[in-house]
Amino acid sequence: MIRHFITTAAAALVLGMAGLPAAAQSDQEVRNIGIITGPIGSTTVQLGEDMARTISGDNGVRVRTMMGKGSLTAIDDLLYLRGVDLALVTADILENIRLSEPNSPALNHLAYVARVADAELHLLVRRESGIDSIYDLEGRTVSLGNDGNDTSLTPRLVLRILDVDVEAEFLYKPEAIEALIAGDVDAAFMVGLKPMPILQNIDGDDGLRLIGIPFNDALSGLYDESQFSSEDYGTIIEDKFVETLSVPVVMAVYNKFARNSYRYNNLQAFADAFIDAVPALQERRAKWQELDLSAEVNGWPRYAPFENFANAN
């Protein structure tokens, strides 16, 4: 079952302390909002850090971020762990839960606040491997990422939808690159905000390249079309562009708090603070330009109180 009472998030590293005001405001309560992200180096840690540094108490709301293990455990922590108000997760996590745990409370107790950004799916192979398509991975040994976090859940779901069977390995990004160069795996999937520094640092002599993942109707709704350019990854893109998929990163919230309860009112205050912070967030990181407060996210209900704020702004 998704529910568990022993969670790595209990020992999470608090990132949001950096850059906080020296003294709390004396004329109003500072509302603390806990946001759980993925593990260090993941897509959502960067976005969480941005919010913690931008929404830091000046307007009565202070964001504190905690690193978890990935979207699956972040959903669990959002449901059951005290102090977690929001979670930054990939939107396809609910589809993964529907397939693996159709009676999970996550399916009826969660909503999304906003579609924050898009994370891209990278597929890396050896240049001389003869693998030119995701369908060429059939029966091959493929690293899907670290087991249990977003980097493995998204590739597994994409392969399932496309009916491609692989021999799965679960390796962290540096290990996957080393294994690929050594010939221990045939391909490696990675999920992250482009451009990923670890891929930008691959030497041309390593003999690796990114290959395309074509979009089709079976992927529609969960994923969007995207692409990489040689400007993103100069040493691992042979053509000017490589097509790929992107998955929305959403800000998820527990949507069963009683109206006017303490937690409900905290989230209302966060809504105001977040909208006010959008210009500063977009200046801090280009990925925040993808923020769409009005966007619908397939398979997710919208958190109704925040919709009123978004429409008003």
pLDDT in tens, 245-296: 999 999 999 999 999 999 999 999 998 899 999 999 999 988 899 998 888 9
CB distance 153 to 146 below 8 Å? no
CA distance 290 to 279: 12
Q: Which residues of 25-51 are buried (b: 16+ CB within 10 A; e: fewer)?
A: eeeeebbebbbbbbbebbbbbbbbbbb
State both tokens at 72.
Answer: 């699956």
CATH 2.40.50.140 fits 119-242, yes or no: no
Supply the pLDDT for residue 48: 93
SS3 for 236?
Answer: coil
Is 100 buried (19+), middle (13-18) or exposed (0-12) by CB count in 10 A? exposed
CA-CA-CA-CA dihedral for 291, 295, 296, 300, to nearest 10 = 20
Q: Going by C-beta distance under 8 Å and a sequence separation of 6 or more, which residues neighbour residue 30?
A: 24, 57, 60, 61, 62
Q: 153, 97 in Cβ contact below 8 A?
A: no
Write down the pLDDT at residue 149. 67
Q: Please give the pLDDT value at position 151.
A: 74
Task: State phi, psi for 231 to the nearest 5 degrees.
Answer: -70, -30
Closest to 284 measured CA to CA, from 54, 33, 120: 54
Q: Taking Cα atoms as reference points, which of 64, 53, 61 lies closest to residue 29?
A: 61
pTM comes to 0.85
- Asked if 188 and 126 touch (Cβ cutoff 8 Å), the reply is no
Q: Which fold has domain 8-118+248-312?
A: D-Maltodextrin-Binding Protein; domain 2 (3.40.190)
For 101-208, where are the alpha helices, taking DSSP H only? 106-109, 150-162, 173-182, 197-200
Say if residues 91 and 249 touch (Cβ distance below 8 Å). Answer: yes
From residue 245, how far is each of 175, 182, 194, 195, 263 by CA, in Å?
Answer: 23, 27, 12, 14, 36
pLDDT of residue 150: 65
Q: Among 35, 28, 141, which Cα is nearest to 89's?
A: 35
What is the structure's pLDDT at 29?
Answer: 79
**What is the C-alpha to C-alpha distance for residues 65 and 53, in angstroms, rounded to an integer?**
10
Which segments of the chain have a pLDDT < 70?
A: 1-28, 148-150, 308-313
- The rounded distance, in Å, linking the Cα atoms of 47 and 33 is 15
Q: Quick check: helix, strand or coil at residue 241? A: strand
Domain ranges for the chain: 8-118+248-312, 119-242
Q: What is the pLDDT of residue 15?
A: 39
One fold for 8-118+248-312 and 119-242: yes
Q: Are 191 and 249 in contact (CB under 8 A)?
A: no
d(CA 28, CA 90): 35
Closest CA to 191 of 153, 136, 225: 153
pLDDT of residue 70: 82
pLDDT of 20: 40
**What pLDDT sits at residue 21?**
42
DSSP 8-state secondary structure symbol assigned to residue 29:
P
Spatial separation of the C-alpha atoms in residues 236 and 224, rounded to whole Å: 22
Strands 224-229 and 241-254: antiparallel
